[in-house]
Structure 1
Amino acid sequence: MVALAYLLGGFTDFQHLGMFNRLHLAQLVFGSEAADAAMSEAAAVLDRWGYRSQARDAGRQLPGVLAQALLINGSPRLADLSTEAFARLRGHPAAAGRQHQTTLFALQKAAADLGYCQPPVRPGRNQMPVIEGADPAWAQWVEQWHATSALTPRVRAIIRTIMAKAGRWLAAEHPQITEPGQWTRQTCAAWVAAVDRMSVGDYVQRTDALGGRAGKPVSPRTKAHQLMATRVFFRDCQEWEWIPRRFDPVRALGVPRSVSALIGTDPRVIADDVWAKLLHAGLNIEAGDLPGTSAGSYYPVELIRALTLTWLFSGLRSDEIVRLRTGCIRWQHDGMPVPADSREILAGEAVCLLDVPVHKTGTAFTKPVDPIVGQAIETWQALRPAQPPRTDRKTGEQASLLFSVRAHPVARAYINRTIIPALCAKAGVPAADVRGNITSHRARSTIASQLYNAKEPMTLFELQAWLGHRTPTSTQHYAKITPNTLTRAYTEAGYFARNIRTIEVLIDRDAVTSGAAAAGQPWQHYDLGHGYCTYNFFEQCPHRMACARCDFYLPKDSGKAQLLEAKDNLQRMLVSIPLTVDERAAVEDGQTALDTLLTRLAGVATPAGTTPRETDPPPGATSLPIAAITHPRHG
């Protein structure tokens, strides 16, 4: 009955019939041979791309969607599904539903690969909303700039949005200004002030995506970005001679110092214990750890594992990861390339090299990575279905992207939206810490910080080459010294020990208990190594590093000193003595500094009242040797 309605009355409102076998209907209308031929032609392309082998749901939906497309188009030939035909199919009521549209999207990709139509464009891709709320003349200038600028599409779209916001501000505050040529330095100053006082949601076209952020102050970094976009817009308009040069955009639209002072680079390194748990979870990730449908995860587990390990160990940006090419892994041993079939060397000390494409700040480069990354990538590459070349959005060249399946590359946001939450859940760690959400770029910061603070750390220039930065200035933002490294360096510097030295002091308890100490008899003896000093204020004596003839000095080879050492009731203690600059030099620099010190002290009175120049040193008296002063850590 449905076939008769189709043939006699052109009935195509299949959405009213609910679930029924559309493929059987197409076979009745066009004949089994013609319908099956179109089905086989489309399925061959989709099978080659990994559709039916990786997603059973898509395989079951393809016959019904293709049969309905042929029926609505009125032809059993796949070649008759042109670009215009697919546009009509998407707007047909029978094609409503997300799954139906997704399968129709895949079908158009297959038809485009066969040369029957143009490739499909995802909804919203390269489609800008009409600027509303601004003067039409201003909106026309913004659209003209957007069509002329040579910046990347994403950057052009961001600047277009900000300049549309400036147009709404003009319409509200300065309606007499409708063109860029009417701006003056006073207008620029007013716009800078407006940006500085702006809140989230001010002068925007849509507020549905703001959530609970509406009304909150704009961050300093966002203010700087908005002023940067305004500078670019007016600079281009002036250089292209669209408007006269009435002001310098760099100066008139510069970021105020009060705002720039609040902006600082913060790589937001992940804590070592959390990062270790994420590494363990990534090394053991399975398909069941990620959300999916009844048919399993959308992506093959080999792709997920290779993508995860690349993020955990390579230190690449998410855009660089999803734009890696097939064949990006190379192996070397002793500086020589390793053949792909030589597993003996790969099991030993082979070096894995990763070729990184053109990126944010520079050209393509090669970096060493852990062998586990290369092994995971090669495992996925061996199972990867043949994919059509894709246009690299950064370089514009046709490239065979590594992380691609079903003729479409992995989205750049897949790591943040799917991989990281799954790893956090598997590792039992929160998806955010005191520094914010755990994102893909924080892994880059963490790896760089650990390499810089390792036991055998990378130098700043080595780390710059490994990260692919253009200048060392960018690398310095990542090369943060951890508190552990700083503590170890401070301890090894010996700041306290450099200014304080510890010597042994003997306390004569008999002299104290008998009252002889009160009568002036020595009771405290500083061990100088070669003798003892009985001066109670030894730490204040300028001659303590070079004892000349002094009544308070007891050489150890004298009988008096031997009697002192023979006492049984001596109490031993350690005293820390602060050193002067000259004394510290004598300890650290040796005999030269000691001779200089002796010369300088020749005219300084000793505790006995005489100076070294006035008396000759007694026989056997020597200067305090350096070995007699001990470090607190060594006793």
Structure 2
Amino acid sequence: MNSSRAARAPKPDPCLWTWPIQTTDYDCRSRLTTTEQRVLTRELPRVMETERTVRAMLIKLSGLERLLTPINHALAIVDGKRVYGDRVRLMLLQHCAMQRTTFWAWDATVWRTVIGTTQEAFYAAHVPKPYAGGERQALMAVAYLLRCFGDIPSLGGVKRVALAEKIFGKERIAATLKQVTDISTTWGYCNNCKPLMSLIAELLLINQRPDLASLTGEFIESIRARRHNSNYRSSLYFQLARVLATLGILRAAPEVRNGVDRESIHEMRIAGIAAAWVSTVERWEATSTLTISTRGHMRDMVLKAGRWLQACHPEITCADQWTRELAAEYVGAVERMHVGDYVWRTAAVGMKLGKPATARSKDAFLVAMRCFFANIQEWEWIPRRFDPFRAFATPRSIKALIGPAPRVIADDLWAKLLWAGLNLTLADLPGHGGTTTGNRHPTGSIHRSGGYYPLELLQALSIVWLFAGLRSDEIVRLRVGCVHTEPSIGQQSTQCWMLDVPVHKTGTAFTKPIDTIVGEALTAWERVRPTQPAALDIKTSERVDFLFSYRARSLPREYLNQSLIPLLCRKAGIPRADARGQISSHRARSTIASQLFNAREPMTLFELQAWLGHRSPVTTQHYVAFTPTRLARAYSEAQYFQRNLRMMEVLVDRQAIDDGRRDQPWRYYDLGHGLCSYEFFDQCPHRMACARCDFYVPKESSRADLIQSKTGMIRMLQEIPLTDDERAAVEGDQKAIDRLLKRLEDTPTPNRPASSKNKRR
């Protein structure tokens, strides 16, 4: 007992930590001596009945120095205040008597029984019942320091930080944890994340070292694989590994762990397809220089052809067995293909299952086959038996159905989305539970309790999506400092906000003008944005500072469709889908482009091409939809009907009408150079060349003067439709007049008797 009083905990060395107890200094034999057996089996039960305190019980026992000495040394380190030491000694001696061996011989099962996997199990394993939970912590520390038991995770709910402080020293553990919190706090994490601190303490205890430098990526991954990994625990591992990479302890930054079972998905995807066909497709995917997403889509389409082969031509297993005739047969199968045909799963198609495939889908299937066979022929993997571009050419019947069809969001729904994005508040953010309270990060950003992204980030993200007309990939890859102001052209006192768009799928980086509200929102987020580590831009292979980065991770592009847009739809009170399908991030781009094109002072197609970042105006046409209002205005301004009509003066002889004489004309058309009394003048082919007609009266003649001077003559106007040649003749085109006269040379003129006969009929 005196040795325990003399033992003192070593002072913490900030530079080096060594194991404080050397087990080789003790007698570690597993068998109890005769004296130890007698004391533990006879005297210990007797003193427990007669003595009232644990200290009095231990004083009465003698001959147990071999067992108590290492326990005393360990307790001197973990229990400097000597609060739980006597009870820990008694517990260990009791179980030595029960097991009839020394504690050096206990296996992990016995130690878990002694320590307990829960606090209740610990209380039930000891008599008398422990006074408090501190004995369990001290018992763990003693077993750990004596190297008898170190599987801390198997003990269930344990205060790991407190245990690590008992073993390694409070100051040393505090310094280690501070290394992590100093960095993670600047990234946007909370200052005192207890789950993260517990995870770090657990790793230190398993590694048996109190410093972060001893942790390796392989060690962390091995511990991670041993335990059930929830999404939250996975995020803690990612956070810690990111900090260790920043400190230079890990050589490379970790990748976000994907919980999807890729092996199972791969097996289901290739099930039922010939192995040779799968091998060629996977080899092509590994060799192609297309983007990752494009390669993945084309791989799935070529595997669809493999399933078709198994169903229709099971004898064809390799790509070099394809012929021109087989390719033509596959093109015909694609033309008649339905949604759900030759796929490995149908869960994603939903209500479309069994419907005819769209023309764009059919074209994509054939494009994938053209690309696949063209590449493997070019790489000389198979002989050239046919031209893929001709054999798998898209039929004209399919091409005719493909054209610009922008899925514009209706004006009333779009107006509600604009209102929701401009009025986003803390209560609208996703969080755990029903609380709508928030807290302010040291950088100044505001979080909802239980939420992940701060309010300023989501406000800026919403406004960029609603006003900037960017792709989702361009939005999440915007860089810090991407917005700036420049003097407006012609108005030096007015500033125009400009946005630097990064490299995108169709072109290089460019700068575009944006609304003031977009520039102000991005500036507000950048002002409170926590400092983030640089991340890799997969488009340019550069390490850059992404604007929408938080907690050491750039915003995933799926966040817009899966989280932000549903959030705005809920606030706006509109459904997630309309008549044209789901409201997605890319539909906003078409909506903005169409509104700019149909504005009161619209942007031209080429201006829209530059603003959207397209290489060709043909691509821009797929984003622009004419509104009925603009079409009506353009049609009205074209004056098509008025352009093909001319007002002609008509003289009506009232006296001839009153006399009722049928042999005398009563209506004369004023041709300028003469008068025409032909009743069907508006249908006469000679109305611009009337010189040879019997109904024509030149104005220079006395008869024309007599007609015009008659009393009771009424002058009226009549609309006469004109042909293109007649319209040109009216407008003074001499060549058009000559062409008209030449065309009318062989056309007979109407005669007066035939006209009178028709009139009588």
Taking the TM superposition and a 5 Å limit, the aligned residue runs for 1:60-71 are: 60-71=194-205
For residue 139 of structure 1, the aligned residue among 274, 278, 284 is: 278
Task: Give the superposition deviation at 1:353.
Answer: 1.7
Q: Distance in 1 between matches of 2:334 and 2:750?
A: 73
Q: Which residue of 2 aligns with 1:578?
A: 721
Q: Is the 8 A contact 2:673 2:698 kept in 1?
A: no
SS where residue 193 of structure 2 aligns? helix
Taking the TM superposition and a 5 Å limit, the aligned residue runs for 1:9-28 are: 9-10=148-149, 12=151, 14=153, 17-18=156-157, 21-28=159-166
Q: Distance in 2 between matches of 1:536 and 1:182?
A: 78
Q: Is the 8 A contact 1:534 1:552 kept in 2?
A: no
> 1:437/1:591 Cα in 2 relative to 1: closer, same or farther (>3 Å)?
same
For residue 462 of structure 1, the aligned residue among 603, 607, 624 is: 607
For residue 588 of structure 2, the aligned residue among 427, 437, 443 is: 443
How many residue pairs end up in the alignment? 583
1:430 and 2:563 matched: no
Of the structure 1 ranges 232-241 and 538-547, higher mean CA displacement relative to structure 2 is found in 538-547
1:103 and 2:236 matched: yes
Task: Give the superposition deviation at 1:421.
Answer: 2.5
Letter in 2 for 1:256: P
> 1:200/1:535 Cα in 2 relative to 1: closer, same or farther (>3 Å)?
closer
Q: Distance in 1 between matches of 2:751 and 2:415?
A: 62
For residue 92 of structure 1, the aligned residue among 226, 234, 240 is: 226
Which protein, 1 or 2, shows the higher relative CO under an 8 Å CA cutoff with sep ≥ 6? 1
C-alpha distance after superposition, 1:248-306 (max 9, x if no partner): 22222233333333333312222333333322332222233343335154222221122
Structure 1 residues not aligned, in runs of 5+:
337-343, 566-571, 610-635
Task: Give the superposition deviation at 1:533.
Answer: 10
Task: Give the superposition deviation at 1:201.
Answer: 3.9
Q: Distance in 1 between matches of 2:670 and 2:610?
A: 56
Q: Which residue of 2 aligns with 1:116?
A: 249
Task: Give the superposition deviation at 1:208.
Answer: 4.6
C-alpha distance after superposition, 1:105-131 (max 9, x if no partner): 222221222222232223349956344
Taking the TM superposition and a 5 Å limit, the aligned residue runs for 1:468-617 are: 468-501=613-646, 542=687, 549=701, 576-579=719-722, 584-585=727-728, 588=731
Larger radius of gyration: 2
Identity of aligned residues (%): 50
Q: Which residue of 1 aligns with 2:474?
A: 320
Q: Which residue of 2 aligns with 1:333?
A: 487
> 1:86/1:284 Cα in 2 relative to 1: closer, same or farther (>3 Å)?
same
Task: Give the superposition deviation at 1:319.
Answer: 0.9
C-alpha distance after superposition, 1:528-564 (max 9, x if no partner): 99999999777578489996658687898x6x66x77
Q: Which residue of 2 aligns with 1:47?
A: 185
C-alpha distance after superposition, 1:419-452 (max 9, x if no partner): 2233333333333222222222122212222222
> 1:217/1:490 Cα in 2 relative to 1: closer, same or farther (>3 Å)?
closer
1:279 and 2:414 matched: no
> 1:148/1:6 Cα in 2 relative to 1: closer, same or farther (>3 Å)?
farther
> 1:231/1:525 Cα in 2 relative to 1: closer, same or farther (>3 Å)?
closer
Q: Which residue of 2 aligns with 1:413?
A: 558
C-alpha distance after superposition, 1:565-619 (max 9, x if no partner): 9xxxxxx997544346566446655999999999999xx999999xxxxxxxxxx
Give TM-score, length-normalised by structure 1: 0.78
> 1:184/1:525 Cα in 2 relative to 1: closer, same or farther (>3 Å)?
closer
RMSD of aligned residue pairs (Cα, Å): 4.1
Q: Which residue of 2 aligns with 1:293?
A: 432
Q: Distance in 2 between matches of 1:4 and 1:411?
A: 46
Give TM-score, length-normalised by structure 2: 0.66
1:248 and 2:381 matched: no
SS where residue 51 of structure 1 aligns? coil
Taking the TM superposition and a 5 Å limit, the aligned residue runs for 1:146-225 are: 146-225=285-364
Structure 2 residues not aligned, in runs of 5+:
1-135, 434-448, 691-695, 754-761
> 1:529/1:258 Cα in 2 relative to 1: closer, same or farther (>3 Å)?
closer
Q: Distance in 1 between matches of 2:305 and 2:399?
A: 21
Task: Give the superposition deviation at 1:69.
Answer: 3.1
Task: Give the superposition deviation at 1:242.
Answer: 2.1
Task: Give the superposition deviation at 1:474.
Answer: 1.3
Of the structure 1 ranges 160-169 and 446-455, higher mean CA displacement relative to structure 2 is found in 160-169
Q: Is the 8 A contact 1:353 1:366 kept in 2?
A: yes
Q: Is the 8 A contact 1:531 1:554 kept in 2?
A: no
